[in-house]
Amino acid sequence: DIVSYLTVLEHIILTTTIQPWKHVLDYGIFTYLLENQHCIKSNKEPVMIDGNTNITIEHIFPQNPDPKWKIELGSDDYNYIKENYLNTIGNLTLSGNNGRLGNKSFIDKRDLYNAGYKDSRLWLNKYLAKLDKWGKTEIEDRFNLIAERVLKIWDIPNTQFDEQSDSNEVNIFDAEDPKFKKLEYAIFFDRKIAVNQVAKLYSEVFKQLFELQPETFFNTELGSKIGLTKKPIDANIRQAVAINETYFIEGNIDNIGKFDKIKLALTIFGFEDELMIKYADEK
């Protein structure tokens, strides 16, 4: 399915975190996202941030908070923010005075002379300058504000997409008669396997099923139906197909018979929805 432009932007906002070990969003992309908050089309006095190495990402609720934070917020909100909101977009801003702001309380960060949010020229911080506290509600409100602004900056393009053609993949239970047909590939347990002949599909399916749960071959009729044996000569197997180093099954069956035995096995295992095939185009 084609993901809409709007959904992509919403996904970026909703999953934004700058914890690099989680590989969700790196500092470069996040900085770009925040920088463009100042480039909305209606803004006639944009602040140029690109290339300014003095401006870095600032945690409003700090990574190592001053003890004042716990006193002002209370233990519950303090711990909740630290565990859930610390590295989210609602708690992050840009500043050229990151070192001076440090781990100070919110009011101290807001009012710090010539460095605090009140003296900042950045739109992101002008909003912070109006607040008297910084807690869970304020982080959530700011998240919503930034999300709305992002969707104004990056307009949704009016793009038409052609519907993708049917891949002609079909469940083996719904497939046409395989007589005289070749395969392009199959998908078994969501993994694509390169098989161009029904005989190869037959072998591959039983190899995987036997590796997955061999006891089912012995506890049901399946083993006898496919001629499972350790000694193919003694068992009068006409065309022995190895499914592991020890066991063999009968392979001297036409394509329809192979399909029937595969479907029997999938039914016994309860895997009726796990095998898709695509026939090769007839030339």
Domain match, 128 and 267 both: no
Quick: pLDDT tens for 120-143.
877 778 889 999 999 999 999 988
Among 91, 120, 153, which residue terminates a domain? 153
Residues 125 and 190 in one domain: no
Residues 266 and 181 in one domain: yes
At 95, is the pLDDT very low, low, confident or very high (cuts 50, 70, 90)?
A: confident
Q: How many domains does the chain have?
A: 2
| 240-242/248-250 β-pairing | antiparallel
Q: Is residue 165 included in any domain, yes or no?
A: no
pTM for this one?
0.46
Residue at 108 is within a domain: yes
What's the first-to-final CA gap in the chain, in angstroms? 30
Domain that holds residue 270: 170-279
Domain boundary among 122, 153, 184: 153
Beta strands per DSSP E along the chain = 56-59, 92-95, 170-171, 183-188, 191-193, 240-242, 248-250, 275-279
Q: Which of 126, 153, 180 is the last residue of a domain?
A: 153
pLDDT above 60: residue 80? yes
Residue 163 within a domain: no
Residue 124 belongs to some domain of the structure: yes
Q: Is the pLDDT reported for residue 24 higher than 50?
A: no
The pLDDT assigned to 160 comes to 59
Residue 82 is encoded by which pair of tokens?
């630290």
